[in-house]
Amino acid sequence: MRLRVLFLLTLFPVFAVCAPLPVPDQGPALRIQGSNTIGAALGPALVKGLMEHQGLQAVHTEPAEGANEQRVIGKTRQGKTVTIEVAAHGSSTGFTALKKLSADLAASSRPIKDSELVDLEPLGDLKSPEAEQVIAIDGLAIILHPQNPLNTLNTEQLAQLFNGEISTWETVGGVGGPIHVYARDDQSGTYDTFKDLVLRLRGKPLVPSAKRFESSEQLSDAVSQDPQGIGFIGLPYVRQAKAVAIVDGDSQPMLPLNSLIATEDYPLSRRLFFYLPPSGHNPWAKALVDFTQSSKGQAIVAASGFIAQQVQAMDVEPRASMPEGYQTIAREAQRLTVNFRFEEGSASLDNKARQDLQRVVAYIKSHDKLDKQVTLVGFGDAKNDPQRAALLSKLRAMAVRRELVKSGVVLREIRGFGAQMPVAANTADEGRIKNRRVEVWVY
């Protein structure tokens, strides 16, 4: 699907400067631990932005004692030093640090696991909307050497490639002989995401001979210098390597393009999170979360190479493979870069969807589209009865309609296309959840 972005409007709450945040007499004002994807550059950049927004001076970053650890330092107008520590050793280490009370905020490139949720119950419900904060969207790029002629791989091939079942490039139509596999380390949320989206669904472990990296940059550079290499990496770290298009089930081949990742249609898209313990949280942690969701914070997200949660309108080129009714909508309207998704096994909107509702309403109001200028299009996963799939897809769109109506939006139309146009394979829960989605179109 070729998507052309027409215009963009940042639609986030303005981050107001309240009373200056407290400065501790000793020790760091805030301790962040977790994802290397976030902590390597995005986390420190957001911290720096918050400090400058707070009026701190001479804000700068310097290495801390360990590898992949940094301090962001600034001074108040009274000359007091403020330090925020960022340690980036993998998503799981952030939750461990929260439990040990050695961190105030966890950065994660995957959702919190049920076991971690139970472990951290004394800190409150980390799945609550206040605690679980989606700060950006990322796409896992599958990267090759720039001269590798392959352009497309499907998720089944990926599992076999990274498991070692496919061991030569010729097996998948390439050239170069034996395949060299590169992967992030076991602490990495990037690895957890790849394992969940590709390997675990097919019951395949990572090939033991894979070369493992804690650093995203080092992994990407190693692949880009190895004609036989293949690896996976967060979108900002493609660097000099070549990204290939991915097919999942009956989906179209999709490159990790910004527009496809923003809607989370791209098969290997993922959410990046801050987890803020609800009970007794650090005021700097809450301020950082609020700043990150503001227009200034999301501008830093975009500048760091990730996908900001901004509402954009884009043209979608009609294709013969689309249902006729969908082609008609595509010819007459523009799609917003938001897909509403639902809690697993539920008709309830998930935490990101709740935030996206506010963004979409702000967009609709600012573009004077409150009166019959918006169509909702629902999709679902395959059912034995196609009519049931169509009905459920329309009911999901109606769930979004109920929320928009509360803000004065009068819908033009609600459509349900059932299990048509899947963006993921329906063979596992994760794929079915991605296919259960509601698109927003504006006229």
> Over the stretch 89-102, which tens digit does the pLDDT of each residue have?
999 999 999 999 99
Give the per-residue pLDDT at 347: 67
Does any domain span residue 367? yes
Q: Are 335 and 314 in contact (CB under 8 A)?
A: yes
pLDDT band (50, 70, 90) for residue 428 = low
Give the per-residue pLDDT at 241: 97
- The answer on 126 and 30 residing in a single domain is yes
- The answer on 182 and 157 residing in a single domain is yes
Helix, coil or strand: residue 216: helix
Angle (deg, nearest 10), helices 283-293 and 42-53: 100
Whole-number mean pLDDT of the chain?
91
Q: Is the pLDDT of residue 4 over 80?
A: no
Number of folded domains in the chain?
A: 3
Lowest mean pLDDT among 10-14, 85-89, 197-201: 10-14
- The answer on 391 and 291 residing in a single domain is no
Q: Are 245 and 255 in contact (CB under 8 A)?
A: yes
Does any domain span residue 382? yes
Give the per-residue pLDDT at 425: 81
| H helix runs in 120-188, sequence order | 155-163
Average pLDDT over residues 170-199: 92
Does any domain span residue 30? yes
Give the per-residue pLDDT at 200: 85
pLDDT band (50, 70, 90) for residue 389 = confident
Give the per-residue pLDDT at 303: 94
Give the per-residue pLDDT at 18: 55
pLDDT band (50, 70, 90) for residue 6 = very low
- The answer on 99 and 143 residing in a single domain is no
Q: Is the pLDDT of residue 192 over 50?
A: yes
Domain CATH for 406? 3.30.1330.60
Q: Which helix (H) or strand (E) holds 387?
A: helix 386-405
Q: Is the pLDDT of residue 44 over 70?
A: yes
> Over the stretch 150-176, which tens digit does the pLDDT of each residue have?
999 999 999 999 999 999 999 999 888
Does any domain span residue 430? yes
pLDDT band (50, 70, 90) for residue 387 = confident
- The answer on 363 and 299 residing in a single domain is no
Domain extent for 85: 9-135+273-303
- Map 292-335 to HEC letters: HHCHHHHHHHHHCCCECCCEEEEEECCCCCCCHHHHHHHHHCEE
Question: What gap in Å lies between CA 35 and CA 12, rounded to an integer?
Answer: 24
Give the per-residue pLDDT at 272: 96
Average pLDDT over residues 6-10: 37
- The answer on 278 and 253 residing in a single domain is no
- The answer on 230 and 332 residing in a single domain is no
Give the per-residue pLDDT at 11: 43
- The answer on 16 and 123 residing in a single domain is yes
Does any domain span residue 362? yes
Q: Is the pLDDT of residue 123 over 70?
A: yes
- The answer on 100 and 144 residing in a single domain is no
- The answer on 127 and 29 residing in a single domain is yes
Average pLDDT over residues 351-356: 90
Domain CATH for 153? 3.40.190.10
Does any domain span residue 112? yes
pLDDT band (50, 70, 90) for residue 383 = confident
Does any domain span residue 3? no
Does any domain span residue 264? no
- The answer on 235 and 277 residing in a single domain is no
- The answer on 292 and 255 residing in a single domain is no
Q: Are 306 and 136 in contact (CB under 8 A)?
A: yes
Average pLDDT over residues 275-281: 91
Locus of tokens 């590709």: 198
* Long-range contacts of residues 45-50, Cβ cutoff 8 Å, at least 24 apart: 45/300, 45/303, 45/304, 46/135, 46/288, 46/291, 46/292, 46/297, 46/300, 46/301, 47/72, 47/84, 47/86, 47/288, 48/72, 49/291, 49/296, 49/297, 49/300, 50/284, 50/287, 50/288, 50/291, 50/297
pLDDT band (50, 70, 90) for residue 14 = very low
Q: Which range scores top for mean pLDDT: 6-10, 30-34, 194-198?
A: 30-34
Quote the percentage of the chain above a pLDDT of 90: 76
Lowest mean pLDDT among 142-146, 202-206, 392-396: 392-396
